[in-house]
Amino acid sequence: MTKFALSVAATDGAARTGVLTTAHGDIRTPAFMPVGTAATVKAMTSEAVAETGADILLGNTYHLMLRPGPERIAALGGLHKFMNWEKPILTDSGGFQVMSLSGLCKITDQSVTFRSHLDGAKFELSPQRAVEIQNLLGSDIVMALDECTPFPSTEQEAADSMRRSMDWAARCKAVWEAPTGRGLFGIVQGSVFPDLRRESVEALTTIGFDGYAIGGLAVGEGQEAMFDVTQATAGSLPTDAPRYLMGVGKPDDIVGAVLRGVDMFDCVLPTRSGRNGQAFTRSGTVNLRNARHKDDSSPLDGDCVCLACQNYSRAYLHHLVKAKEILAATLVTWHNLTFYQDMMAGIRGAISGGGLQAWVDGFLARYAGDREPE
């Protein structure tokens, strides 16, 4: 039987590379997880996502509990079969979406009650129900229910929120039956307050989880604060468990977090940007709406082997974006996901070779960030 376990093959400073073994296959770390919120990575087939090099993708408890419902997915064979994805799946517990999408919600120490943003139907999500839903989905990595502390918050507000999340984490663990090859992750909270983050880490490691996520970041605190919290938190987590920085992010955020010891990432940025005509290239971001591309017969990124770069010009992609053709979203998303997976492969290779800092320096020197290169 497959055991859920992380095997670290090489380290370079705080960064490490290895393999996370799950019931549905191996995940090469550091890993980027495309976001398939509602059992689909938008504009992509599951087969296309696999072709980009992704080992794992992310689904979401909140959206799937509303539509089509976890019991229905379970009756149809589970989320892997439902969406034709044979590789591992991580499901976010839904806490963030409950508080950000449902409008009026009521949080108590027992649960959170809310109304669906789709039709106003009333739901209650408790720690136990969050685990039950993810078990019905058949997730390889199940996330404990947490309260994502808003930013900014006072230290007292952050403390109250974090301690509620720690109680919820204990209740999730109490009902977790540890299926073979599957893992339960706890989520560190505490906003930007070091003492609260340390308290959260101590609480979660005392409970004991298969992996640990760093939550409540990339919510407006800025990159420097995010890196400070990430470095302090990752360095205090168990070395034999995967570390997951939730909701991050931009390429420079990812490489900076890897340097600080993070193994797993997810973000909607490459897919959302793809649907809006923004592409990530090795020389920076490209806005395909710009008229400068209308007569450009060159590929989007000459070093990329994705379907878009191998077969279509910038001029054609510009035309599709301006014409609002559906194919634009598919091709640019396909490229963006390939760029992210290529970046992760480069990171893994650099760690294995003991040259990560040099690789990062070279990558960032070429990558122009959030502006289109001249």
- What pLDDT digit, counting tens, does each position of 307-354 carry? 999 999 999 999 999 999 999 999 999 999 999 999 999 999 999 999
Per-residue pLDDT reduced to its tens digit, 113-171: 988 888 988 989 999 999 999 999 999 999 999 998 889 999 999 999 999 999 999 99
- The active-site residue, picked from 210, 263, 266, 301, is 266
Domains delineated in the chain: 5-266 (3.20.20.105), 273-361 (no CATH)
- CA 153 – CA 77 distance, rounded (Å): 42
Q: Sorting pLDDT into bands at 50, 70 and 90, what band is 90?
A: very high
Question: What is the spatial distance between Cα 138 and Cα 131, in angstroms, rounded to a whole number?
Answer: 10
Confidence of residue 368 (pLDDT cuts 50, 70, 90): confident
Active-site hit among 12, 55, 92, 342: 92
Catalytic residue check, 92:
yes
Answer whether residue 98 shows pLDDT above 90: no
pLDDT band at 103 (very low <50, low <70, confident <90, very high): low
With cut-offs at 50, 70 and 90, classify the pLDDT of residue 100. Answer: confident
| Exposure on the CB side of residue 125, measured as CA atoms within 13 A | 31
pLDDT over 80 (residue 373): no
> Is residue 253 annotated as part of the catalytic site, yes or no?
no
Average pLDDT, integer, range 41-63: 97
- pLDDT for 369 equals 60
Cα gap 332→328, rounded to integer Å: 6
Q: In this model, does residue 107 exceed pLDDT 80? A: yes
Task: State the pLDDT at residue 156.
Answer: 98
Confidence of residue 266 (pLDDT cuts 50, 70, 90): very high
Angle between helix axes 251-259 and 326-352 (nearest 10 degrees) is 20
Q: What order of strands is seen across the sheet that includes strand 141-143?
A: 31-33, 264-266, 243-245, 211-214, 183-188, 141-143, 89-92, 57-60
Q: How far apart are the C-alpha atoms of 242 and 22, rounded to whole Å?
A: 12
pLDDT of res. 114:
86
The per-residue pLDDT for range 275-313, each reduced to its tens digit, is: 999 999 999 999 999 999 999 999 999 999 999 999 999
pLDDT of residue 116: 86
Q: What per-residue confidence (pLDDT) applies to 180?
A: 96
Q: What is the mean pLDDT of the chain?
A: 95
Average pLDDT over residues 226-246: 98
Could you tell me how many residues make up the chain? 374
94 falls in which pLDDT band (50, 70, 90)?
confident
pLDDT at 218 over 90: yes
